[in-house]
């Protein structure tokens, strides 16, 4: 592989949206600590902050909730498409249905705040519609928080308030994370003066990859394979010695404990109480960090957000195949904030590469 692959250290340009402080383990959304936002405000308030640069007042929040609920009405042609995709994986169905819905909206080049709100509502509605079936009615309440409506749409019944609050905290912490692969993809697409619908489809495609959005389900599989606390050390040693990656540990940016994992660990504790599986997760975490330091000293490999995301998502009764689509719904807030910023100050994103292949003979 050519040196420098991965674009580490390359600065795309300035942003006012978020700071990912990997050295100090902090995540800042427009001047607000993301951990505090997860405790103090709802996800849709966080989305408004990312879009507008400030938190909404009560009237703006009520308008936002009502608008998002109304926008979750899936058009007939998109339902028809989903009917033909009942056997498709959820992320594949999401990518295809959102593309069709965007085509129906006749997006102009670029985009605006209405497009951002549509994108958030559309992703949530498509995930729920595909999960429930194309004929299901997605009952939502315009006065309820967005994540409450998402869970109600998914399950066909009013959401449990405690579980909805737990998922809301996860959505807030997953809403934005700097220039990650899917956000970069969306910004590149709209920088060509394409539309937000196209940028959204590209971002979904990037998030589908297991090195980006698929990790929480792999954490759940790992815990299932380990099964009992006594199995943790031999299982983890075998994986490390065979050169395999431990899902939920290590991060390209964070060189200390991921602040999102810290916050979600608290949420998981509130949801699960003394659930033995959470006890297993905490034991596996302690063992994995100790072994990673033993085998890879100085690498600074700590728990990342996916580890406790798996615990939270399982305790709010999401099926593992909905983990990544739900992540996509949450991250739509950050994707669209970045696309709007790119449109506002646009310059076509066109990096260069170093050619290292052969040259013609003289």
- Per-domain residue ranges for the chain? 215-315
CA gap 172, 36 in Å, rounded: 10
* Segment 88-144, tens digit of pLDDT: 999 999 999 999 999 998 766 778 999 999 999 999 999 999 999 999 999 899 999
Contact yes or no for 177/334 (Cβ under 8 A): yes
CATH fold for the domain made of 215-315: Cytochrome p450-Terp; domain 2 (1.10.230)
pLDDT per residue over 200-249, tens digit each? 999 999 999 877 776 677 888 899 999 999 999 999 999 999 999 888 88
- In whole angstroms, what separates CA 242 from the centre of its chain? 29
| 251 is known as an active-site residue | yes
Selection from 114, 90, 84 nearest residue 102 by Cα:
114
Closest residue by Cα to residue 171 from 129, 201, 127: 127
Determine the pLDDT at residue 170.
Answer: 94
d(CA 166, CA 164): 5
State the pTM of this model. Answer: 0.91
- Quote the pLDDT of residue 39: 92
What does the pLDDT read at residue 107?
Answer: 66
**Of 35, 44, 306, 341, catalytic:** 306
**pLDDT tier at 266 (50, 70, 90 boundaries)?**
confident
Q: Report the C-alpha gap between 319 and 316 in whole angstroms.
A: 9
d(CA 261, CA 263): 5
Tell me which residue of 356, 358, 362, 361 sits closest to 1, measured CA to CA: 356
Rounded-to-integer distance, Cα 307 and Cα 90, Å: 21
Overall average pLDDT of the 335-346 stretch: 97
Q: Quick: pLDDT tens for 158-171.
A: 999 999 999 999 99
For residue 330, is pLDDT > 80?
Answer: yes
Residue in 251, 285, 338, 341 annotated catalytic? 251
């Amino acid at each position: 592989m050519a040196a420098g692959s991965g674009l580490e250290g390359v600065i795309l340009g300035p942003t006012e949206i978020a700071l990912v402080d990997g050295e100090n383990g902090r995540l800042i959304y427009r001047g607000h600590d993301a951990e505090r936002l997860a405790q103090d405000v709802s996800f849709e308030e966080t989305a408004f902050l990312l879009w507008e640069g400030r938190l909404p007042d009560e009237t703006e929040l009520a308008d936002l909730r009502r608008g998002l609920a109304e926008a979750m009405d899936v058009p007939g042609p998109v339902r028809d498409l989903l009917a033909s995709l009942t056997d498709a994986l959820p992320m594949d169905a999401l990518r295809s249905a959102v593309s069709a819905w965007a085509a129906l909206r006749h997006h102009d080049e670029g985009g605006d705040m209405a497009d951002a709100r549509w994108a958030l509502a559309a992703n949530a509605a498509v995930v729920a519609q595909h999960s429930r079936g194309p004929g299901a009615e997605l009952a939502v309440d315009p006065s309820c928080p967005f994540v409450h409506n998402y869970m109600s749409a998914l399950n066909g019944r009013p959401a449990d308030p405690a579980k909805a609050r737990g998922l809301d905290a996860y959505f807030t912490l997953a809403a934005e994370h700097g220039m990650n692969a899917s956000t970069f993809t969306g910004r590149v697409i709209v920088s060509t003066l394409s539309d937000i619908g196209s940028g959204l489809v590209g971002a979904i495609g990037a998030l589908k990859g297991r090195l980006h959005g698929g990790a929480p389900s792999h954490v759940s599989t790992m815990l299932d394979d380990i099964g009992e606390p006594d199995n943790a050390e031999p299982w983890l040693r075998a994986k490390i010695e065979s050169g395999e990656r431990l899902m939920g540990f290590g991060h390209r940016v964070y060189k200390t404990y991921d602040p999102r994992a810290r916050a979600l660990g608290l949420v998981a504790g509130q949801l699960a109480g003394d659930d033995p599986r959470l006890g297993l997760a905490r034991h596996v975490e302690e063992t994995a960090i100790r072994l990673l330091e033993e085998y890879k000293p100085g690498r600074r490999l700590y728990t990342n957000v996916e580890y406790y995301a798996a615990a939270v998502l399982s305790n709010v009764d999401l099926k593992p195949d909905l983990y990544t689509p739900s992540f996509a719904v949450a991250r739509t807030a950050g994707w669209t904030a970045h696309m709007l910023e790119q449109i506002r100050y646009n310059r076509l994103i066109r990096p260069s590469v170093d050619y290292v292949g052969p040259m013609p003979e003289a």
